[in-house]
Homo-oligomer: A and B are copies of this chain.
Amino acid sequence: MTFPKIGVVGGGQLARMMAPAAEALGVGFHVLSEAEGSPAAQVSSQVTVGDYHDYEALLAFARTVDVLTFDHEHVPTEHLEALQAAGVSVQPQPQALVHAQDKLVMRAKMDELGLPNPAWAPVSSTAELAAFGERAGFPLILKTPRGGYDGHGVRVIDSAAEAADWFAEAPGPLLAEEKVDFARELAVMVGRSPSGQTAVWPVVETYQRDGICKEAIAPAPGLPAELAERIAGDVLTVAGALGVTGVMAMELFETPQGYVVNELAMRPHNTGHWTQDGSVTSQFEQHLRAVLDLPLGDPTAKAPFTAMGNVLGAEHEDLYRAYLHVLAHDPQAKVHMYGKSVRPGRKLGHVNVSGADPVEVRARARHAADYIAGTDPDPHPRHGRSDGPARAAGASAAESSARAESTAQTGAGA
């Protein structure tokens, strides 16, 4: 028995961040990248450039690896089924993945499993949308069942007539949903292997802007223990019922009654990036362990709180100088860059910060991310820290120079 090879379809940052996990686990790591020089292609020794819409390209790539998995959910279901029929180990399997690809399929499944959905309906015309709106009220949310991500394919609709353009273009029914009056957004991630082993990370609070995840903190501060238990139990129900393999994220709205399900993703997810530095097992390592049917790792958090801030592209095209400043300003910040060029709104990297105070770690992660992006001009914010980072056990005064520099810079901005 030799160490297996994994093949990832898609060369984005999620595939990129799987590479270190493959390195440590000692498994082979191949990427089917849509282009040369993609984030994952930059860090992988085995890269094939090819189009994931092309079945023959997928099959040829799959023949070079032991297990096929994904950086995104856009591979056509019929290709995945054909690969499976050809004997390829597709993980997650298309029968599971369709619940993350098609929001109508997902909503129906949640109902079947008794999980809390918002009011929803498939709608094929403005008349059907108007009828749904009479029941659920306006404004409501209209979604394309497939192809949406990061706010794409989602609209807030004040009247049925507004959606006429989408109905004119849509190949099938759209998904109409009640606009949920939520207290905050949460997410929970689970890893599950083909053998059925599972592991759930703590529930995360997330912060969106323009439909894009901007920040997350784990565990969700102040989440009632009973709700956390219920959510963890429910995500295990979903993972088992759908036959999930790999990691799955379930995005939620917290409501006065508990929560409702928002969306599913069947791959490492932005709301799980904190696990790279804040959990015994990162979501990227767990995804590889799970799709390879290796025993799963411990999802326990390593710090009281870990916050994640996304670096979202803005006007500044040169991030390097601000990046240097952030490394100097907060020597505990874990900066993860994706090797991308800057475009407005594009996810370019993220920053994780761990610590005991949820307000402080969020502020530090957000500042670091926004300063790199160029959207927070303050080089020396105060985050309400009463003291600098704790010193290492057995450390000398002299060895604190990395931290001393940080403290000095913080002080300079006071």
Contact = CB atoms under 8 A, between A and B. Distances in A.
Contacts of A47: 45
A413 B395 CA distance: 40
B327 A198 contact: no
A300 B391 contact: yes
A220 to B, nearest CB: 7
A399 to B, nearest CB: 3
B24 A297 contact: no
Contacts of A198: 398-399, 401-402
A29 B339 CA distance: 12
A392 B299 CA distance: 7
Contacts of A163: none
Nearest to A227: B394
B296 A337 contact: no
Nearest to A202: B394
A77 B386 CA distance: 49
- The interface centre, meaning the residue of A24, A28, A223, A402 with most chain B CB atoms within 10 A of its CB, is A402
A20 interface: yes
A331 B297 contact: yes
A158 interface: no
A1 to B, nearest CB: 4
A54 interface: no
Given A200-B395, A392-B299, A402-B296, A17 B26 contact: no
A226 to B, nearest CB: 10
Given A45-B41, A197-B401, A320-B3, A24 B236 contact: no
A332 B219 contact: no
A43 B17 contact: no
Given A20-B23, A45-B45, A296 B331 contact: yes
A228 interface: yes
Tallying the copies of this chain within the complex gives 2
A203 interface: yes
A344 interface: no
A319 to B, nearest CB: 8
A229 interface: yes
Interface in A276-329: 276, 280-281, 289, 294-304, 318, 320-321, 323-324, 327-328
B26 A337 contact: yes
A392 B43 contact: no
Interface in A235-250: 236
A247 B44 CA distance: 25
Interface string A185-210: 00000100000011111110000000
A327 B202 contact: no
A304 B403 CA distance: 20
B299 A399 contact: yes
Interface in A322-355: 323-324, 327-328, 331-332, 334-339, 349, 354
Contact of A394 (B219, B280, B349): B219
Given A26-B335, A228-B394, A229-B397, 11 more contacts: A3-B320, A19-B23, A44-B45, A197-B401, A202-B393, A203-B394, A228-B396, A295-B327, A298-B389, A300-B395, A302-B354
**Lowest 10 CB-CB distances: which A-B pairs, in order?**
A26-B337, A20-B20, A232-B396, A200-B399, A295-B328, A228-B394, A295-B327, A298-B331, A1-B320, A199-B402
10 contacts: A23-B42, A26-B338, A232-B394, A233-B398, A280-B332, A296-B401, A296-B402, A297-B332, A298-B332, A300-B390
